[in-house]
Amino acid sequence: MHANIPPKPAYIDLHIHSTASDGSLSPVKIIQAANKANLRAIAITDHDTVDGSVEALQHQYSSGVEILPGVEISASFESGVMHILGYLIRLDDISFRETLKVLQKARANRNLQILKRLQDLGIDISYDEVLKASGGGQIGRPHIAHVLVHKGVVQGIDEAFNKLLKKGSPAYAERYRLLPVEAIEAILVAGGVPVLAHPFTLNAKTEGDLERVLVDLKQAGLKGLEVYCPGHGPEVTARYERLADRHGLLVTGGTDFHGTLKPGVHIGIGRGDLRIPYRLVEELKQSAS
């Protein structure tokens, strides 16, 4: 008799950043944290790179947690931030890798511009310091924020963004981004499932505005909506779930975990109350096949 075997954990986290982009934990450390949090499936969704997913998948068989290939691509969107997640992409797809290379180059140019703007403001941080903070992966604004905190220019990551780095702030620099339809197409071509990340960052003024964006994205090939996000609470989650249902979109969810680069958000549970059911992974896999 095996009366006391605990049931398999049923929760997941499909939005995690590693040191390959702007997370503070390596893919291996993320797998360890996911096991500690008793998660059944995860996806590493780094900005504009699949290096984190590739590394995690090398540990799939010894990891004790199911790992889905993932990526997060920033798309251009005037009135807010639009991130498109790509799940179950073929990680070695040549055209997808080429697209990522273009985005990575744009990112590198933009980082230098931000440092130049900071210098013009009398804030002297070097590329080397930022590189060190990044641990060798894709550099993003959170790494610049980290150096600013470390050097005592600001008190915290949030202040770094609000005072200096966010859109409209003095050290902000634009970078080349794909159009939403291009980001979706790139993911589809690589056999992946495109999902709109954290829809609240679109800054839609009304639900009608959000729905109009969803209709356009769906027409471009969007297949899912990230319904479970930290801070949503049951009411907001239910509202997004209804939206997904109404527009025939899959439901996904994740914490957008960045480790110490986004304090207060924990793997699997977000700010403490997130529980994302495993059945969403089954639906995602069905949609890809």
Residues engaged in binding Fe ion (CB under 5 A): 22, 83, 197
Report how far residue 256's alpha carbon sits from residue 17's, in angstroms, rounded to the nearest whole number. 7
Q: How far is the CB of 125 from ligand AMP (least distance, A)?
A: 15
Classify strands 224-228 and 250-253 as parallel, antiparallel or unpaired: parallel
Residues 153-172 that bind ligand AMP (CB under 6 A): 157-158, 161, 166
Q: Which residue is at the shortest CB distance from ligand AMP? A: 140
| Sheet-wide strand order for 70-75 | 70-75, 82-87, 193-196, 224-228, 250-253
50 CB burial (10 A radius; 0-12, 13-18, 19+): buried
Q: Is 13 in the site for Zn ion (CB under 5 A)?
A: no
Asked if 133 contacts 258 with a C-beta cutoff of 8 angstroms, the reply is no
Mask 223-262, x = binds ligand AMP (CB under 6 A)?
-----------------------------------x---x
The DSSP symbol for 162 reads: I
| Closer CB to Zn ion, 48 or 72, in the complex | 72
Give phi and psi for 117, each to the nearest 5.
-65, -40
Does 47 sit near ligand AMP (CB under 6 A)?
A: yes
Separation of alpha carbons 53 and 18, rounded Å: 9
Region from 58-66, 123-131, 135-143, 220-228 binding ligand AMP, contact rule CB under 6 A: 135-143
| Near ligand AMP by CB under 6 A: residue from 12, 14, 16, 22 | 22
Residues numbered 63-102 forming contacts with Zn ion, rule: CB under 5 A: 72
**To the nearest whole angstrom, how small is the minimum distance from the Cβ of residue 101 to ligand AMP?**
16
CB 267 within 8 A of CB 37: yes
- Is 22 among the residues that bind Zn ion (CB under 5 A)? no
**To the nearest whole angstrom, how small is the minimum distance from the Cβ of residue 193 to ligand AMP?**
20
Q: Decide which of Zn ion, Fe ion, ligand AMP, none touches 157; Cβ closer than 5 to 8 Å per partner kind.
A: ligand AMP
**CA angle centred on 24, ends 20 and 30, rounded to 5°:** 80
Contact residues for 121 (Cβ-Cβ < 8 A; gap 6+): 164, 170, 171
Query: Rule CB under 6 A: which residues touch ligand AMP?
Result: 22, 47, 140-142, 157-158, 161, 166, 258, 262
Query: Rule CB under 5 A: which residues touch Zn ion?
Result: 72, 256
